[in-house]
Amino acid sequence: MNRTLITLIFMSLMAAIAISSCSTNQTESAQGEWITGTEQEKLSLIEDHLGGFGRTMMEVGYRYTELYWAGQDENWLYAAYQLEEMEEALENGFERRPARAASAETFMQNSLPRMMEATQENNRDRFHDVFQSFTLQCNMCHALEEVAFIAIKEPQVRASSVRF
Ligand code: HEC
């Protein structure tokens, strides 16, 4: 065998080793402490633990009460912040559960923007009026989604540690 042939055989051997180690890396997937299994099993587990629309609504419920007390305090920046976060939570919720989006159309298109405008008017009474129709729209969607037993009313007890 001449030198060129030996070099060629050596190089193709190295290439074969490189390719096989590469493909092993691709099939071997990372395993967590408890997020384990195939790629599909791991994704399903993560999705289950992230939760569905109920998880979104727990956040919306919290932000709704914070929004209310922000209005009472005339802390308009905090009120606007809560509305922005609420909108984002809802948008993420519709990514998880697209079937819920249709019932929330009025809420997303009208109620949220109107409430946002009210945070810019620096007027507590006006804020309160808009907040009441905002609340009606929460309940409207609950009715459409057949969870009317989750009846939302203006908060009465203040749990927030954010004061102005
Ligand atoms: C899609 C329309 C929709 C809109 C708009 C909506 N909700 Fe909901 N809400 C739901 C649905 C559906 C559930 C039940 C959750 C489930 O089935 O996973 C729910 C549940 C809830 C819950 C119970 C959460 C829990 O599991 O403890 C609260 C609190 C709540 N909503 C508050 C509100 C408030 C406050 C607003 C308005 C700011 C609002 N929601 C607007 C659809 C909506």
CA of 32 to the centre of ligand 1 (A): 33
User: pLDDT: is 28 or 95 the higher one?
Assistant: 95
In this model, does residue 162 exceed pLDDT 90? yes
Q: Is 79 in the pocket of ligand 1 (CB under 6 A)?
A: no
For residue 3, the model assigns a pLDDT of 72
* C-beta separation of 162 from 78 below 8 A: yes
Q: What percent of the chain has pLDDT over 70?
A: 85
Q: Is 131 in the pocket of ligand 1 (CB under 6 A)?
A: no
| 152 vs 140: CA distance, rounded Å | 10
Structure confidence by residue, pLDDT tens digits, 46-85 = 999 999 999 999 999 999 999 999 999 999 999 999 999 9
CA of 85 to the centre of ligand 1 (A): 15
Give residues with Cβ within 8 angstroms of 29, minimum separation 6. 38, 39, 42
CA of 21 to the centre of ligand 1 (A): 50
